[in-house]
Amino acid sequence: MAGGERDYSLTEEQKAVKAKYPPLTRKYEYLDHTADVQLHAWGDTLEEAFEQCAMAMFGYMTDTETVEPLDTVEVEAEGHDMLSLLFHFLDEWLYKFSANEFFIPREVKVLYIDRMQFKIRSIGWGEEFSLPKHPQGTEVKAITYSAMQICEEEKPEVFVIIDI
């Protein structure tokens, strides 16, 4: 199932929410992987590539354009190198969805990445996930280190396999 957009059958209400806001810029795609899904995200900066990777993960769970930016959530993470930083960044965002908050963002913005201390701070605008409002995609169970890559040669891009 390679490609950037999932096919969600939207209700009229979901289409109405989508129409209220400008379309989201998607700089990611889903690559086929045995029993799991590989996220491939890119951006003009490493920060944008991380943002797009988080949105790719959430885009696998629901159509993020049906999410309204009603609440704000901050996520901070740290690691011992850049790969562990990416892992913990995504894992913290997944926790915000999986825990009591059930927060689903419409947009994630990385405020800064500290490459020396391996720390990241980000903010997301969204709302509580609700099945009547948001189409159900596929549950993301976990982030994995398997085949994880951060490439910065030409354009920053990241590859992450998620367990579904």
How many domains is the chain partitioned into structurally? Answer: 1
CATH of the domain at 126: 3.55.10.10
Query: What are 75's two structure tokens?
Result: 């996520």
- For 80-84, the CB contacts below 8 A with 24+ separation are 80/118, 81/118, 82/115, 82/118, 82/150, 83/145, 83/148, 83/150, 84/118
Report yes or no on 89 lying in a domain: yes
**Of 3-17, 49-63, 149-163, which gets the smallest average pLDDT?**
3-17
Residue range of the domain that includes 148: 35-163
Average pLDDT over residues 91-111: 95
Report yes or no on 112 lying in a domain: yes
Only one residue has tokens 């797009």, namely 52
Report yes or no on 129 lying in a domain: yes
Q: What is the pLDDT of residue 1?
A: 44
Query: What is the distance between the alpha carbons of residues 93 and 39, in angstroms, rounded to a whole number?
Result: 15
Q: What is the band of 11 on the pLDDT scale with cuts at 50, 70, 90?
A: confident
Position 100 pLDDT exceeds 90: no
Report yes or no on 5 lying in a domain: no
Q: What is the pLDDT of residue 6?
A: 66
pLDDT: which is higher, 30 or 145: 145
Query: What is the distance between the alpha carbons of residues 83 and 125, in angstroms, rounded to a whole number?
Result: 25
Report yes or no on 124 lying in a domain: yes
Query: What are 87's two structure tokens?
Result: 């892992």
What are the tens digits of pLDDT across the range 34-55?
778 999 999 999 999 999 999 9
Question: What residue type is assigned to position 63 of the chain?
Answer: D
pLDDT: which is higher, 153 or 151: 151
What pTM value is reported for the model? Answer: 0.87
**Of 33-37, 53-57, 64-68, 102-106, which gets the smallest average pLDDT?**
33-37
Report yes or no on 10 lying in a domain: no
Report yes or no on 28 lying in a domain: no
Secondary element (H or E) of residue 76: strand 71-78
Report yes or no on 7 lying in a domain: no
